[in-house]
Amino acid sequence: MNAWIAISPLLLLVVGGLLTMLVDAFSKEGKGEVATVTAATLFLAAGVSFAALLNGQDPQDVPEIFGAYLATDRLGLFFDVAIGLGGGLSALLAGGYLREHGLERGEFYILLLFSAFGAMVLARSTDMLTLFVGLETMSIGVYALAGFRRGSPRSIESALKYYLLGSFAAAILLFGAALIYAGTAHTDFAGIGAAVEGGHADVKLVLFGLLLVLVGLAFKVSAVPFHMWTPDVYEGAPTPATTFMSVVVKAAAFAVFVRVVITAFGDEMSSSSAGGWPPVLAGLAVVTMVYGNLAAIAQNSVKRMLAYSSIAHAGYILVGLAASSVVGQRAISAVLFYLMAYTVSNVLAFGSLILMGSRGREAVSFDDLAGVGRRHPLAALPFIIAVLTLMGFPPTAGFIGKYYVFSSAVEAGGGFIWLAVLGVLASAVGAYYYLRILVAMFMKDPIPGEPVAVPMRSGSVVAALVISGLAVMQMGLMPGDMLDLAVAAAEQLFAG
């Protein structure tokens, strides 16, 4: 495979972002062209990445500037697919949502593209320097997207909270990276790993630095207790921006999470169950799964409930990441499959919520959805599939993803078995609040005198729902192809 093909998704997003700025500047009637260019660019980046993955060959003659700081491996391409797909679907959702709610401005799509570029850089990072640059490039755009509804105090509040807490978390991560550099004299992940494994590192400095880096990454994946921003930001941001945050930001953060723990700290000492990162991640997984599911039960807002659901799903992924210290490649391939399944499932859930709101009014509470399934059964179908896959009901992608993650924990044995059991119990709790959506849509009547939710008419939103719905069912019924790609990416990561 040519090296330029391996890095072409990044180049596509840069060129697409500049092209979108030109289209926005010269577009006089509406911003439909801008949305189309954005979605097409992101889907093209995902498609090129997917084609390169299917090619199965390692890139040749990689330019030094990329090889030293950015990975051109299958893991990077796998996350390019997830980021491009999640971003493209978010752009399609925005194409209908912004127009319906009087927010259609071209800068939304430009921010989306450059944030996705930062996410791809973050997912491909092989050095603490590119990790930080990618993280901030992604985050700055997302901060602006969260506050895109400038006339809404809640939207501005969400952007401010995200910015302040995100800056604080980034500073912690940067301080941790500095300590790791002080202890190893390296910023590249491979060099850090070699120094630690060879006994040439200051162990105390490195372990404390690793703890701070894990805290910074835990913030981005919404792991408890670093989740405080998530419900308020998800609720206050425009729903397409929330969708983008919930899938693209989480995928990129988990991608670099995998690289840090496997490449930089995959040595015997750092990955030991006694004093390394596995017990830290296992502890984060426990509190994240339990708190995320219990807090979601008490929510009256569907959007806020999905935010706590996103927290709980981060806990499930952390189970697989913790188990990778024992079963390695098996657990990482399960994590990769889960992240891809989560991407299409969450887009389907938030897209279904977007579809239910029209005429400038969003349907965000359970009361808003009362009876909509009986009035508009076809519009309710995507929501049904979304609920089933998020709760892990067969034969959806969510079920297969949870099965692989929890089975990898069982295979790891020891204390990881109870972690898998707790994950299954937490998923059972989650079924309660997911089914509340179906109860509201089909078994409740609207409150007399209150506005009734009417689904919007938008071809771009319907297209996003059809694509994500088909992907959910395809990965559930025929998971083999995607799992093979995840296994190949994990194999190459562990091969070095």
* The pair of three-digit structure tokens given for residue 469, joined into one six-digit string: 């719905």
Q: Which amino acid is at 96?
A: G
Interval 223-262: pLDDT, tens:
988 888 889 999 888 999 999 999 999 999 999 999 999 9
Q: Quick check: 32 pLDDT over 70? A: no
| The pLDDT of residue 30 is above 60 | no
Of the pLDDT bands very low, low, confident and very high (cuts 50, 70, 90), residue 138 is: very high
pLDDT in tens, 324-356: 888 888 999 999 999 999 999 999 999 999 988
pLDDT at 39: 84
d(CA 351, CA 261): 33
Q: Provide the token pair at 267.
A: 């040595």
CB neighbours (10 Å) of residue 194? 16
What is the Cα 42 distance to its own chain's centre? 15
- Three-state DSSP class for 414? coil
Within 238-327, where are the H helices?
239-244, 250-259, 277-297, 302-327
The confidence band for 360, taking pLDDT boundaries of 50, 70 and 90, is: low
Q: Could you tell me the CA-to-CA distances from 238 to 142, 195, 310 in Å, in that order?
A: 11, 45, 17
Report the mean per-residue pLDDT for the chain: 87
- Amino acid letter, 56: G
Least confident range from 169-178, 321-330, 419-428, 453-462: namely: 453-462
The DSSP secondary-structure symbol of 23 reads: H
Residue 452, pLDDT above cutoff 90? no
Instruction: Compute CA distances 5 → 45, 62, 118, 256, whole Å.
Output: 10, 10, 18, 21
Residue range 112-121, pLDDT digits in tens: 999 999 999 9
Query: With 80 as the cut, is the pLDDT of residue 296 above it?
Result: yes
**pTM: predicted TM-score of the whole model, two decimal places:** 0.93
